[in-house]
């Protein structure tokens, strides 16, 4: 949640007054006319209310964000339920910071306990649960795999093998009913710290461009997929050899969406404008999918394609 900001429209400036209500689930927005006013003073403009499960203010810490959005998902993944976190917003609104934390943390120049984002906290949590489960039941093995890829101009690229420049085909459904990028690098990870090292290296290969709003703007959606596969070793009396069978498997997807913005600068290159159109189209499609999935009337068709 960012504080009040001014958004320039034409020759006038439109101000919004944003208030987080005490229940921390409601935001009030006062959007006055295009005339310049002092938003710090009381006025007669009607406040429009928006309700959420939880509202995080500019004072919320990275740990607060994880407690609200990530902690419960980790528990569900170990129960065999897929999960997803989407970071959505304008360029420079803090999506990548929320997901990964600052680059300074990776170089040891920031306190990781304070600055680390959702992904490193998720990995630490996952390995803690893995260790606890394996200690409680020696017949159980928990494997964690990581895939990192981007969707750029409606094509999928492996960020662990970005140098190839080859797009990947989407295949599926597999035995779990999931769709997946065929031929993608699947990293088996054994420690949270090692996983973050390879992840940050992969994230640096993500496509970026200079835009009117930002010197470095992500032009693709980045997906971090963590697969948790649990197996049990069972000894049958009729067999001398132990039987290993898959007990549970689920995936957690953490997505850093490209910036949602409208670029109207004639100085932008044709490529940058084309990227912007593809970003807006994909975000609009995602909006339709989310709306269909959350439709309480049970809409049958979900526009995945």
Q: What percent of the chain has pLDDT over 70?
A: 80
Tell me the helix, strand and coil percentages in the chain, rounded to 5.
Answer: 30, 30, 40
Residue 229 and residue 186 in contact, taking contact as beta carbons nearer than 8 Å:
no
User: Taking the mean position of all CA atoms in its chain, how far away is CA 8?
Assistant: 28
Instruction: Kindly state the tokens that stand for 113.
Output: 């306990």
Ligand-binding annotation for 90, yes or no, is yes
Ligand-binding annotation for 9, yes or no, is no
Instruction: Kindly state the tokens that stand for 26.
Output: 């409601």
The CATH label, of 3.40.850.10, 3.40.50.800, 1.10.3720.10, 3.30.1600.10, for the domain at 64-293 is 3.40.850.10
The whole-number pLDDT of residue 263 equals 63
Ligand-binding annotation for 94, yes or no, is yes
173: preceding bond cis by omega (within 30 degrees): yes
At residue 105, the 3 state secondary structure works out as: helix
Q: Where are the domains of the chain?
A: 1-60, 64-293
pLDDT per position as a tens digit, 206-258: 987 766 666 667 889 999 999 999 998 887 766 667 777 778 999 999 999 99
Ligand-binding annotation for 89, yes or no, is yes
Residue 4 has pLDDT above 50, yes or no: no
């Amino acid at each position: 949640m960012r504080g009040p900001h001014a958004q320039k429209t034409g020759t006038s400036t439109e101000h919004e007054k944003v208030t987080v209500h005490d229940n921390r689930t409601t935001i009030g927005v006062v959007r006055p006319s295009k005339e310049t006013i002092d938003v710090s003073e009381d006025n007669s403009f009607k406040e429009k209310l928006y309700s959420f499960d939880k509202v995080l203010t500019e004072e919320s810490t990275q740990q607060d964000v994880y407690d609200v959005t990530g902690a419960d998902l980790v528990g569900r993944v170990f129960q065999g339920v897929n999960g997803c976190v989407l970071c959505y917003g304008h360029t420079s609104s803090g999506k990548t910071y929320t997901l990964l934390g600052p680059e300074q943390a990776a170089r040891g120049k920031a306190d990781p306990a304070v600055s680390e984002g959702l992904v490193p906290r998720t990995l630490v949590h996952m390995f803690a649960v893995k260790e606890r489960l394996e200690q409680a039941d020696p017949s159980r093995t928990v494997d964690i795999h990581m895939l990192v890829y981007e969707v750029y101009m409606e094509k999928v690229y492996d960020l662990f093998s970005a140098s190839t420049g080859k797009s990947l085909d989407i295949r599926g459904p597999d035995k779990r009913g999931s769709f997946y990028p065929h031929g993608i690098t699947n990293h088996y990870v054994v420690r949270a710290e090692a996983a973050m090292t390879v992840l940050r290296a992969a994230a640096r290969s993500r496509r970026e461009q200079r835009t009117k709003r930002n010197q470095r703007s992500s032009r693709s959606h980045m997906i971090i997929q963590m697969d948790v596969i649990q197996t049990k070793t069972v000894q049958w009396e009729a067999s001398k050899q132990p039987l290993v069978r898959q007990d549970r498997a689920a995936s957690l997807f953490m997505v850093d969406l490209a910036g949602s913005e409208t670029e109207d600068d004639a100085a932008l290159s044709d490529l940058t404008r084309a990227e912007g159109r593809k970003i807006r189209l994909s975000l609009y499609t995602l909006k339709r999918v989310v709306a269909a999935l959350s439709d309480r009337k049970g809409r049958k068709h979900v526009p995945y394609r």
